[in-house]
Structure 1
Amino acid sequence: MFRIRKIADAHAPANRAAIAEAQAILRAQFPGMDPADIDALPDRLDNPFAQRFVADLFVAQDARARVRAAAVLLHDPELNFAFLDVIAADPGARAGSGAGGALYERLRQAAAERGAEGLYFECLPDDPDLSPDPETRRQNADRLRFYERFGARPIAGTAYETPIKPGETDAPYLVFDGLGGHALPGAERLRAIVAAILERKYPTLCPPDYVASVLGSIAPGGYDLRPARYRNRAAPAPRTDRRAPIPLIVNDRHDIHHVRERGYVESPVRIPAILAELDKSGLFERRPARRFPDRWIREVHDARLIDYLRRACAEAPEKTALYPYVFPIRNAARPPKERSVLAGYWCIDTFTPIHRNAWPAARGAVDCALGAAEAVLDGAPAAYALVRPPGHHAEHRSFGGFCYLCNGAIAANFLSHHGRVAILDIDYHHGNGQQDIFYDRADVLTVSIHGDPSFAYPYFTGFKDETGRGAGAGFNLNLALPEQVSPETYRAALDRALARIEAFAPAFLVLSLGFDTARGDPTGTWSNGAEDFRRIGARIGAAGYPTVIVQEGGYRVRTLGTNARRFFEGLAEGLAAPRRAAGGRAPRRPAKAPGAAFRATLRAEDPARIRALVAATGRFSAEEIGIAEDLALERIAKGAASGYEFLLAEGAGGLAGYACFGPIPGSEIGWDLYWIAVAPGLQGQGLGARLIAAAEDAIRAAGGRFVHADTSTSAGYAATRAFYAARGYRVAAEFPDFYRAGDGKAVFEKVLAPRGDAGGTAP
């Protein structure tokens, strides 16, 4: 049993660990591969401009999360073809384990999701004239036999397999997999694809006359797929995730938590009401929940709260609900000892009881949410945790609002080990739990659309000026709406929320789904109908993020199921649109990227150009702009003795960006990143990432082992903090009110691994 994971960047710790294991496999299987190519894999994932391909790493992991096979898939969005750069299995894995087949099937699926009109790759020849050594030829034939099972065969009738140097053997075939629906392209298009492969992958290996010779051999009617030699069958079309059923994980033990007091609307009947309608849709595939370790809960909630809930529920009298009624806010440091009073120490309201079965039901809901997150990690575009009790009102150290554990936050934190996460809460009530848990973090964006706290629960949070704190400043957005809201106004707020999420560019989305925004819900005042929920679902699905949906509120049982079905029908419509690239954004077109060339030597005209660039960003004061120019002047006057190093990126239209950095006085291994700026018209295209990576390489080469970068903690610098966080920097220190009252300084730090300790790519 293997889990196939796609790794689109090297930022998250789990991704870096998987990349390191994949690199080890490549080194073991391809000892002749240039080590620098293997070391460069993280940069290729982060920087599509290196070879003008969008690169994704896929790994097959066993039950113990060990990488057993790895592959790099490239996609050219301009020519719209996919190229399998390399695929290799762990030499220590059991032969015939199926890891390679499972991985190749997933690669075909990924290429189809991208809309690629065929998958190309190289494979060594099985003809005696091209591969004279019998043992080598046997191994080559085994590989071609494997790929032929999927309908992939060499392109015959071109000079692609011609050796670059006379006398060389085993020059590779170019193999084509039509993904079950695409034929070989016409000669003009095939020439463009072959040129892209040879010129971008082998710029120093293939001389221009060789490339011209290969391209000249591609003539209309002169080439075709080689006849099947090992297995004659049609190529199967890969199943794309967009058409796959949505994994549905239901908390089957939810009904043990049944508070029978009159007016307690969070009742067991909600789940079967939703299921009855979802079963009509044909959109879902039921999956059982599995038990996850408590550590995922303890990473999110105060251990004392967890221990209290577990113990208090176990000790609660049978069929009796204990409601909080005393709230010791004046002396929270000394929890009361009396059991009937202690509930108020941990709870935020008077109507969320301690009940014998509250803990096991809440614990089961967590397992469902984590199961949905795991399904998304395994490649599902969306997964639904249909659970009760809900969770989005449970904070780090408190429960309330019918919620005991914050299911969505636990799932988001789980996913954050693999990339940045956005939480979108569309319940009628503010998602105070998620806000509280992630308020200081920049790697999880929390967005909530809810009734204004002036009239809606929980009353004390959800205000628009609550935007985050410290490193998390700017990463919380509250869209508080009035008591009466039309469906059109609601969708306008949803569009604002999705725009903020797009700017954040998460790898995953967690949706806290409440149906209490529906017309007639006993806990809400808005008027969304079934068709409105379909439109809401379609908007969210079309955003294209791998999405974990966690059920929250919705208490009008008469319409609850219909609203849920229509929401997911809309979501499926949105998911059917072309998938986005990793990070949530539509795949960037490398050909439109700034073709900037870097240089480290300043010229006489550069200080003025740097001043103009910094001023053009609109982010800095006149004093700061002057400092940027002064540092460049000092470097020209004093050289290396100034303590300032520069990298300038020159584009076709002039100075595209620059970085300034230097050793920290008194430190033998520490460096400061003083400035990094990109011209406004070129921002968001990866140039900043290239600059900071090049600066880190220069620092590493000079013996530096860590880098500091200072920035403001104000909301206006949220994007800057996200930029550093996405590139492996962490907040090492904060100084409140450093720049001015209410505007502190955050010091980000990154420890630089020695070159070769992390990273890697295929040939």
Structure 2
Amino acid sequence: MFRIRRIFDDIIPANRDALRQVKDIIRKRFSEASEEDIDQIGIKLRNPFKQRFRPILFVEENMRRRVLGFALVLHEPEINFCYLDWIATAKEINRGGLGSALYERIRRESAALKVKGLFFECLSDDPDICPNPDILKVNALRLRFYERYGARPVINTAYEAPINPGDTCMPHLIFDGLQDNTSLSRSFARKVVRAILERKYKYLCPQEYVEKVVASFQDNPVKLRPLQYIKPEAVITKTEGKSDEQIALILNNHHEILHIHERGYVESPVRVRSILKELEKSGLFETIEAKKFPDRHIHAVHDADFIAYLRKACEQMGEGKSLYPYVFPIRNKTRPPVEPSVLPGYYCIDTFTPINRNAWPAARAGVNAALTAAKSILDGRRIAYALIRPPGHHAERRAFGGFCYFNNTAIAAQYLRMHGRVAVLDIDYHHGNGQQDIFYNRSDVLTVSIHGDPKFAYPYFTGFADEFGKDEGEGFNLNIPLKESINGLQYKKALKCALLRISEFEPDFLVVALGLDTAKRDPTGTWSLTPKDFRINGQMIGDTGLPIAVIQEGGYRTRTLGTNALNFFQGMAEAVFRITALKSGPETRLQGVSIHYEPVFQDIDRIRKLVEITGFFTPEEINMAGELVRERLEKGPDSGYNFVFAWQYGRLVGYGCYGFIECTRSSHDIYWIAVSPDFQGRGLGRMILNEMEKLIKESGGTRAYVETSMQQRYAATRSFYEQCGYRRETVLDDFYGPGDGKAIYCKTIAIPAKNEQ
């Protein structure tokens, strides 16, 4: 038995161990691979767009987590293709089907991304190109394998031409169209080849070699080699365009024993059934059995006397009976009441959460489900969902209430904290007072809650905007209380603020307390979020790029619970697994982008990271970009540098820098535009440039100038400015170096006043 799972990063131990095994496989199977090439796999995961590709790493593991094989695919969202960088099985493993399973998984994921084709290289089986007979035999077997899927070498081009005199056995470029009768257009193929040679092999291929190979693609459509090993009727071409990525779903299987019918108790078993009914038919979830965890994980967030009381009080209740708190003293930890009927008020924060014989086992099983979700994240899952009742986010360190007995969200966060920094985001309609109380004095766990203002919403006494944390935890608790009537757009703005704070914290894990009581007509809330709003919210949270454990909290309108939950997770999956988010239409492709103008100190490093991941700038240029921000912070407007920052859901995705040209009346320089690679080709660069031009015009500026290199790799940059209305005024030959001229572009953005002409 084996499974194929995706590795998103090397943060968690399970992923680090898998990556170590992947590198060992490369060393054994590819003796010619350098250590630098091998280390690049980890670097690509940590810095996805260093080569302006998005890496997708799959590992094939047995049940003991031994890696049997792996594949690394590079996704290019702008040109819209995938490139298979590596695929291999462990050398000592001869079991059939491993390579096929990996390649078929790659084809499905590529088709799900709606790319125009899957490309890769394979060494030649032509003795004129590769004279070694032993290597020829192996190459022929590989090409035969790929022919089964209709993947064949491109012919009539110079792709196999040697880079250096004497080079032999140059690889074929293989094209897999993923569907029947898919042809390869010349213009598309040229873009793909240029991207491969200039990015993947930029240190190997001189620019003149790149131009020669690109220009050699003359046929339209590009010709592929006829089948040589497989009969046409045996070829498997079509593949289902569906991602195999699933969300781990963990159920609290003992929740139904807690079913209270008195006092209008809305926290009932039908809540879970309503959600589960919609999720099960979506195919997006894989149910994982909850494991048992020791009590020490509860003790990590709750006081021992509280735990002992809750266990004993529940066990002593008669069958079918409930005891409700009704006396609430000002708590004195050293003098608790003795009378059993009074004692619940000492440990409870309301009058409607009962002590019941089944409350302990149901809540204890919920803890197991939450911890199983957290553990599945550590085991490599990117999203895990603990569908739990009773909920938990109102349970404080030594108090229960709000239908909550143990704080499942805090317990999951504390468990993950042993492996990295954790942020907790509570999106229930009611304040997450439990997490606030438990982590209020700590700086290693960030707690953020969006909720109804405590002026009108339970739990009434916590959740105010001025509660920031205390002592070491000061600044690590954020409350965003909202007014009584909120629509989806208003909520999205609040969520954006929450995600910005989470981004600044730079956590390794995110725990989401999911309340569906923010929905329209929920009996415990006053807001009006629709299924579409939940989908957007899920996408925004997924865009953090973090491993996410979702713990179910409130939500009581059973008619819409399932639909809202499914939309939330569909949005999150689209963002996390990048099934459709990268190919969104014109009206949504820049959804959630906001513009800011004034830098803060943290922007120095943010700008450097942004410029670096484009893979386009030198180390000197990267440092210079950060120093311009520093100079603006130190000198203000007198620095001469002005900025336009583009943010999406708490992440800097692009920026521009411009300034007035001294000794002119109204001319300005555009110094920088840099856009995160996953936003390139989606109009963000044009948006930033338009904003800078507008600001220049408002300040009385009339002309904007841009300078760029005449090197071939800057051709796209020059084309961008030309498409935006900039005219090339002159070229200064050899300005940057021999053969590297400087092109100067200009655009008139306002008619100069007569006295300026």
Question: For the superposition of Structure 1 and Structure 2, which TM-score range results when normalised by the shorter chain?
Answer: 0.5 to 0.7
Aligned to 1:24: 24
How far, CA to CA, are the matches of 2:614 and 2:313 in structure 1?
58
| Mean Cα deviation higher: 183-192 or 560-569 | 560-569
Are 1:81 and 1:117, in contact at CA under 8 Å, matched by a contact in 2?
A: yes
1:49 CA drift (Å)? 5.3
Give 1:425-444 correspondences, 5 Å limit: 425-437=426-438, 439=440
Q: Does 1:535 align with 2:537?
A: no
Q: Does 1:498 align with 2:503?
A: no
State the one-letter code of the partner of 2:203: T
1:378 CA drift (Å)? 9.0
Cα 1:349/1:214, change in 2 over 3 Å: same
1:430 CA drift (Å)? 0.8
Larger relative contact order (CA 8 Å, sep ≥ 6): 1
Aligned to 2:89: 89
Cα 1:273/1:129, change in 2 over 3 Å: same
Are 2:314 and 2:359, in contact at CA under 8 Å, matched by a contact in 1?
A: no
Aligned to 1:117: 116
Cα 1:120/1:412, change in 2 over 3 Å: farther
State the one-letter code of the partner of 1:598: P
1:379 CA drift (Å)? 9.2
Give 1:467-478 correspondences, 5 Å limit: 467-468=468-469, 474=475, 476-478=477-479
How far, CA to CA, are the matches of 2:297 and 2:400 in structure 1?
13
How far, CA to CA, are the matches of 1:86 and 1:527 in structure 2?
50
Aligned to 2:601: none
Q: Specify the SS of the correspondent of 2:530.
A: helix
How far, CA to CA, are the matches of 2:308 and 2:355 in structure 1?
10
Are 2:291 and 2:368, in contact at CA under 8 Å, matched by a contact in 1?
A: yes
| Mean Cα deviation higher: 434-443 or 164-173 | 434-443
Are 1:387 and 1:551, in contact at CA under 8 Å, matched by a contact in 2?
A: yes
Give 1:429-468 correspondences, 5 Å limit: 429-437=430-438, 439=440, 446-468=447-469
Q: Deviations over 1:303-334 (max 9, x none)?
A: 83796378537743442445567779765479
Aligned to 1:562: 560
Are 1:533 and 1:570, in contact at CA under 8 Å, matched by a contact in 2?
A: no
Cα 1:210/1:272, change in 2 over 3 Å: closer
Aligned to 2:554: 553
**Unaligned 5+ runs, structure 2:** 584-590, 594-608, 640-654, 660-669, 678-757
Aligned to 1:236: 238
Q: Specify the SS of the correspondent of 1:174.
A: strand
1:212 CA drift (Å)? 4.0
How far, CA to CA, are the matches of 1:364 and 1:354 in structure 2?
16
Give 1:279-678 correspondences, 5 Å limit: 287=287, 289-291=289-291, 293-294=293-294, 297-298=297-298, 301-302=301-302, 304=304, 308=308, 311-312=311-312, 315-319=315-319, 320-321=321-322, 332=333, 347-369=348-370, 384-396=385-397, 398-411=399-412, 423-437=424-438, 439=440, 446-468=447-469, 474=475, 476-482=477-483, 484-485=484-485, 487-488=486-487, 491-501=489-499, 504-505=502-503, 510-517=511-518, 521-524=522-525, 526-528=526-528, 532-543=529-540, 544-545=542-543, 549-555=550-556, 559-566=557-564, 568-569=566-567, 572=570, 578-579=580-581, 593=614, 595-598=616-619, 613-617=629-633
State the one-letter code of the partner of 1:178: G
Are 1:180 and 1:234, in contact at CA under 8 Å, matched by a contact in 2?
A: no
Aligned to 1:34: 34
Aligned to 1:266: 267
State the one-letter code of the partner of 1:240: K
Cα 1:253/1:216, change in 2 over 3 Å: same
Aligned to 1:199: 198
Cα 1:63/1:314, change in 2 over 3 Å: farther
Q: Deviations over 1:187-227 (max 9, x none)?
A: 23312321221232223333445434433432124522542
Q: Specify the SS of the correspondent of 1:156.
A: coil
Cα 1:442/1:349, change in 2 over 3 Å: same
**Unaligned 5+ runs, structure 1:** 626-650, 656-678, 687-763
Aligned to 2:743: none
Are 1:423 and 1:509, in contact at CA under 8 Å, matched by a contact in 2?
A: yes
Cα 1:463/1:104, change in 2 over 3 Å: farther
RMSD of Structure 2 on Structure 1 (CA): 4.9
Q: Does 1:141 align with 2:140?
A: yes
1:173 CA drift (Å)? 1.8
Q: Deviations over 1:50-80 (max 9, x none)?
A: 4233334333343334444333322333322
1:35 CA drift (Å)? 1.2
- Report sequence identity in percent: 44
How far, CA to CA, are the matches of 2:264 and 2:454 in structure 1?
22
How far, CA to CA, are the matches of 1:182 and 1:574 in structure 2?
34
State the one-letter code of the partner of 1:538: R
1:389 CA drift (Å)? 0.8
How far, CA to CA, are the matches of 2:340 and 2:20 in structure 1?
51
State the one-letter code of the partner of 1:24: D
1:256 CA drift (Å)? 0.9
Are 1:118 and 1:178, in contact at CA under 8 Å, matched by a contact in 2?
A: yes
How far, CA to CA, are the matches of 2:32 and 2:613 in structure 1?
34
Are 2:537 and 2:571, in contact at CA under 8 Å, matched by a contact in 1?
A: no
Are 2:50 and 2:613, in contact at CA under 8 Å, matched by a contact in 1?
A: no
Are 2:52 and 2:613, in contact at CA under 8 Å, matched by a contact in 1?
A: no
How far, CA to CA, are the matches of 1:294 and 1:442 in structure 2?
26
Are 2:293 and 2:371, in contact at CA under 8 Å, matched by a contact in 1?
A: no
How far, CA to CA, are the matches of 2:84 and 2:137 in structure 1?
22
TM-score (norm 2): 0.67
Name the count of aligned residue pairs.
615
How far, CA to CA, are the matches of 1:19 and 1:192 in structure 2?
31
Aligned to 2:79: 79
State the one-letter code of the partner of 1:617: L
Aligned to 1:747: none
Q: Deviations over 1:13-37 (max 9, x none)?
A: 5544443333333233323211123
Are 1:426 and 1:449, in contact at CA under 8 Å, matched by a contact in 2?
A: yes
Cα 1:35/1:247, change in 2 over 3 Å: closer
Q: Specify the SS of the correspondent of 1:617.
A: helix
State the one-letter code of the partner of 1:53: F
Are 2:267 and 2:390, in contact at CA under 8 Å, matched by a contact in 1?
A: yes
Aligned to 2:255: 254
Cα 1:301/1:34, change in 2 over 3 Å: same
Q: Specify the SS of the correspondent of 2:60.
A: strand
Q: Deviations over 1:272-308 (max 9, x none)?
A: 45556767x7576673533254489459634837963
Cα 1:570/1:271, change in 2 over 3 Å: closer
How far, CA to CA, are the matches of 2:175 and 2:296 in structure 1?
44
Q: Specify the SS of the correspondent of 2:19.
A: helix
How far, CA to CA, are the matches of 1:254 and 1:381 in structure 2?
25
Are 2:14 and 2:380, in contact at CA under 8 Å, matched by a contact in 1?
A: no
Are 2:251 and 2:290, in contact at CA under 8 Å, matched by a contact in 1?
A: no
Aligned to 1:180: 179
Q: Specify the SS of the correspondent of 1:359.
A: helix
1:403 CA drift (Å)? 1.5
Aligned to 2:210: 211
Aligned to 1:154: 153
Are 1:49 and 1:590, in contact at CA under 8 Å, matched by a contact in 2?
A: no
Are 2:117 and 2:177, in contact at CA under 8 Å, matched by a contact in 1?
A: yes
How far, CA to CA, are the matches of 1:391 and 1:260 in structure 2?
20
Cα 1:194/1:210, change in 2 over 3 Å: same
1:399 CA drift (Å)? 3.4
How far, CA to CA, are the matches of 1:200 and 1:534 in structure 2?
41
Aligned to 1:662: none
State the one-letter code of the partner of 2:630: V
1:497 CA drift (Å)? 0.8
Aligned to 1:741: none
Cα 1:567/1:14, change in 2 over 3 Å: closer
1:417 CA drift (Å)? 7.9
How far, CA to CA, are the matches of 1:56 and 1:561 in structure 2?
38
